[in-house]
Amino acid sequence: MAEVKSKLQDNPRGALEQYITALQSDSKMARKKALVDINAEIFVNEDNADCDFTVIFPEVYAYVLKSFSDPSEACREASAMIIENFIKKLPLNDYYLTYILPVLVRRLGSPEIVEESEEMRLVLMSLVHKILDKYKVTNLLSPFINDFTSILTKTATDPFPKVKLEACECIIIMTKVLPRDFHLQCESYVKPVLSNFAHQHYRVRVAAVKAIGAIVLVGNAKCFELSITPMAEKLFDENSQVRLQVTLEVGNWMLTYRDRYSFWHRMIPLLLTSLSDVMADVRDTADKFWIDIGLQYMEENEEDLKKKTDFLKDVPSHYPDVKRPNLGCRVLVTSNIGKIVPAISKEMEGWQPDARLRVTQLLCWLVLCAEEGSTQHANTIVRTMLRGASDEDPRVVQEVKRSAELFGYFITPDTWWSLLEADVDSWPALMVLANILKGSQAELVKVKAMGELCKELVDPDRCQTRKPKYQTNLLHVTESLMDLCGAACRPVAEQLFVINFTVYAMPVDDKIQFMALSNLDKLRYLEDCGRSLTSLYEKHVGRVLANITSDALTWTLLSPDRCLLECALLHSGSAMGYQLHLIAPLLRECLATPKVDPEVKLRIFTSLSTVLLKRQANFCKCDVDKLEAFLKIIIDEVITPNLVWAPGRTAEAIRTAAVACLCSALQDKDDEQCLEIGAGDSDKVISSLMVVNLFPTKESLEPVLGRLAPLLAALVDDNSALTRRHALRACRALAALAARRGCFTHEILHKLYFVVLKRLDDSLEQVRCDAVHTTSALFQCRALPYDTALYGAHLDAVYSAMLVHLDDPEESFRKEVLNALITLSSIDARLLLKKVKANIHLYRNKAAYEKLSNHIEKILSPPAQS
């Protein structure tokens, strides 16, 4: 080996001749072995460790570099290893690069892929990387900038991901080693690197973002223009590492890019968007950069900001619950917001929901940082929020709500109300308005905006809109206003009541109705109206009723005025007593007019029945004279006309509703007591009645009794079974009430019982039972004394008809008849006993007849002597 060593030092060509000759062999194994031996002889053999490589390189480089084109991949790899070792051993001298780089350009930088092996291209890129690493401390690479550009722009688009990674690393080194030379070639690098932004491997995307960041820092303005949009798109990357790298690069640009003052409006949106990232590390990184950028901006513009810095005040008292950005950040955003907001507004029209979400998040940060500085761009901001409020994505809507609330903190009501006033017909405007109010100052809102806002919203064309989103946001506006202003809302309390009561009366669903009820309760609390809503209704429901001015002929079930009237009837409680002068004409108009929609009539009749049933609560505070006048209108002009027979099923349904309403008016707690008393005891019963009596005196009932008796007699024979049942109920209630007032005459009794007896043969079992009860009730309420001799024929007819039905096939009906006969036997016991005894042999129901006979005989038998 000593001989070989002396030869290698003294005569490198002679020492390596045999290996060089072997490189010409046709055998790839021989060529590979020759290359391996050359590498071993030069770099591995310890005896040649002290050899002068500057002498050896000129003798072998041509043969080794020629092997870069060897058909065998193994040979090409071995030759690359030899050159790599030479790079490590040789001193810094561009002489060597003049031979190596052209070969690398030919293998890697050609328009077409020359080196087909991916692994081999990676080896060659590693060689390029080592060259850059070794020569980065010198200026020797400058003449080879074109070679490097050819190699790196081509390999940046290589199909092999690892080659892409090496290329990006090399580009970053180039920007640091040759910034001046690279500046002239920078545009050539941008597009090849940007092509990797869509690569499926996130590491490639991260490397490409990092490379673009380095290119832009040393490149010209065109590089920035070409890169900023793709960088913004990468903020939507699914991988957080990619987004983090974008944040790092953009933050670095904003701190060190020499032309950054020309592009603040392009970079600020990217960094502020990262402040809303879902990953904490991205948000923290962006936050640190944002603070540093603001502080640096303050230092760089110290003279311009001197006044603001000298008078820099603490966080304002009216400020959202977030950390306030520093002065530099605020000034920076204020000076650029005019260029950013129009772009956000345009982006809101895009089809990608994630993009719309990011720009609404960006809008929050812009409003927060600009503070009062966004006033001159308030119109554009409001338009953007209106568009976002109607977005289909709930995430976007939530961010718009946040933006609107922040907007309210910094913009005065005079500004935002003038911009939104014309749009209150749309629900997005109401949503924005509700959230602006959350952030506004009560002192400023109540000066002007509160009154004008309520004036607009109380307009029937708005508050009577039956759309779910509009109703919901209308309620949110009133809720926000009450939460903000509190007791200061009292000047507009009536308008707030009308708005919420209208929605409560005609809600789209139960949830909206509950919201309206909650708002009414909140208004009750603000007005200090006691513990129930009734006191609130006492103050304001009159305004609602007074506003019902439309023609009842135009009403349908969905008409707002019908809904308001029904709601006022059902929910006003004792407050209704103060509004009878308004309610009576409305009821007369919609129930007494023949051509009103039948469905409307039925609904109002149902509501009126409920009112009359709950008269103790509804009329307890009502003046007696007003109540009598109201009842006169209800009975004479509302109920009575609708009891008159008319052809058709619609008229039949209305008659049923009218007679049911009459039952409610006549019904009384003490009806059952009345069945056991005569006219002579009526005063005693009256003294025990409830506080509210719809017909408190004989004089008030007699005119009604005279008109109703013949109508009820006719309704007992109505085609509708339900009408017949209600008519029988009404007869019982009317008889009981008339008996208590002392005006149930024998004439009226005889008119009614005759038609009632016919119903014992009705086709419907329930009607027959009601007829039995009604017959019994009518004679129980008879005026005393009752001359059985004079009216014997009437009693004979009653007893005869009922005795026949003791043999009815239905057992339950037989029991009802028996009980009724036992009850009525006291009127003329001898007559009834005579009729029972005369025909007892003809009847099948012997037990019933015997029971009845025994009862009568007990009545007739004298009491036992003690």
Residue 293: what pLDDT? 96
**Has residue 676 been placed in a domain?**
yes
Residue 305: what pLDDT? 81
In this structure, the answer to whether residues 772 and 801 fall within a common structural domain is no
Question: Which uninterrupted H or E stretch holds 651?
Answer: helix 649-666
Using the 3D structure, point to which of 650, 666, 682 is the last residue of a domain. Answer: 666
Residue 820: what pLDDT? 83
**Has residue 587 been placed in a domain?**
yes
Helices (H), 506-623: 510-527, 533-546, 560-571, 580-591, 598-613, 615-618
Amino acid identity, residue 452?
E
Q: What is the DSSP letter of 679?
A: G
In this structure, the answer to whether residues 724 and 755 fall within a common structural domain is yes
Cα–Cα nearest to 214, from 166, 156, 257, 262: 257
**Has residue 184 been placed in a domain?**
no
In this structure, the answer to whether residues 543 and 624 fall within a common structural domain is yes
CA 335 → CA 261, 272, 301, 331, distances in Å? Answer: 11, 15, 13, 6
In this structure, the answer to whether residues 560 and 534 fall within a common structural domain is yes
Residue 688: what pLDDT? 35
In percent, the amount of the chain with pLDDT more than 90 equals 52
Average pLDDT over every residue of 443-472: 92
Q: Does the pLDDT of residue 144 top 60, yes or no?
A: yes
**Has residue 716 been placed in a domain?**
yes
Distance, in Å, from the CA atom of 423 to the CA atom of 436, rounded to the nearest integer, reads 14
- The dihedral sign for the CA sequence 678, 684, 686, 689: negative
**Has residue 742 been placed in a domain?**
yes
How confident is residue 813, by pLDDT bands cut at 50, 70 and 90?
confident
Give how many domains the chain has, as a whole number. 3
**Domain span including residue 862:** 792-866
Q: Does the pLDDT of residue 682 top 60, yes or no?
A: no
Average pLDDT over every residue of 775-788: 84
Residue 623: what pLDDT? 80
Q: Which residue has the higher pLDDT, 448 or 216?
A: 216
Q: Which residue has the higher pLDDT, 789 or 567?
A: 567
In this structure, the answer to whether residues 556 and 653 fall within a common structural domain is yes
Residue with tokens 């609560």: 617
Q: What is the DSSP letter of 863?
A: P
How confident is residue 675, by pLDDT bands cut at 50, 70 and 90?
very low
In this structure, the answer to whether residues 762 and 805 fall within a common structural domain is no
**Has residue 750 been placed in a domain?**
yes
Highest mean pLDDT among 475-489, 756-770, 811-825: 475-489
Residue 389: what pLDDT? 94
Average pLDDT over every residue of 364-368: 95
**Chain segment 35-45, per-residue pLDDT in tens:** 999 898 888 88
Using the 3D structure, point to which of 666, 688, 710 is the last residue of a domain. Answer: 666
Q: Which residue has the higher pLDDT, 534 or 623?
A: 534
- Give buried/exposed letters for 20-57 (b at 16+ CB in 10 A, else e): bebbeeeeeeebbbbbbbbbebbbebeebeebebeebb
φ, ψ (nearest 5 deg) of residue 729:
-60, -45
**Has residue 469 been placed in a domain?**
no
Amino acid identity, residue 813?
F
Residue 6: what pLDDT? 44
Average pLDDT over every residue of 145-152: 94
In this structure, the answer to whether residues 642 and 720 fall within a common structural domain is no
Residue 667: what pLDDT? 76
Residue 31: what pLDDT? 92
Q: Does the pLDDT of residue 5 top 50, yes or no?
A: no
Residue 692: what pLDDT? 64
How confident is residue 862, by pLDDT bands cut at 50, 70 and 90?
low
Average pLDDT over every residue of 828-841: 74
Residue 762: what pLDDT? 83
Residue 311: what pLDDT? 63
In this structure, the answer to whether residues 541 and 656 fall within a common structural domain is yes
In this structure, the answer to whether residues 737 and 680 fall within a common structural domain is yes
Q: Does the pLDDT of residue 203 top 90, yes or no?
A: yes
Distance, in Å, from the CA atom of 817 to the CA atom of 804, rounded to the nearest integer, reads 10
Q: Does the pLDDT of residue 264 top 80, yes or no?
A: yes
In this structure, the answer to whether residues 562 and 636 fall within a common structural domain is yes
Q: Which residue has the higher pLDDT, 301 or 808?
A: 301
Q: What is the DSSP letter of 865?
A: P
**Has residue 330 been placed in a domain?**
no
How confident is residue 845, by pLDDT bands cut at 50, 70 and 90?
low
Question: Is 671 within 8 Å of 732 (Cβ atoms)?
Answer: yes
Residue 678: what pLDDT? 35
In this structure, the answer to whether residues 772 and 796 fall within a common structural domain is no
* Helix (H) and strand (E) counts in the chain: 47, 0
How confident is residue 734, by pLDDT bands cut at 50, 70 and 90?
confident
How confident is residue 699, by pLDDT bands cut at 50, 70 and 90?
confident
Residue with tokens 């009906």: 813
Among the listed ranges 201-215, 357-371, 507-521, 572-586, which one has the minimum average pLDDT value? 572-586
Global pTM exceeds 0.85: no
In this structure, the answer to whether residues 853 and 732 fall within a common structural domain is no
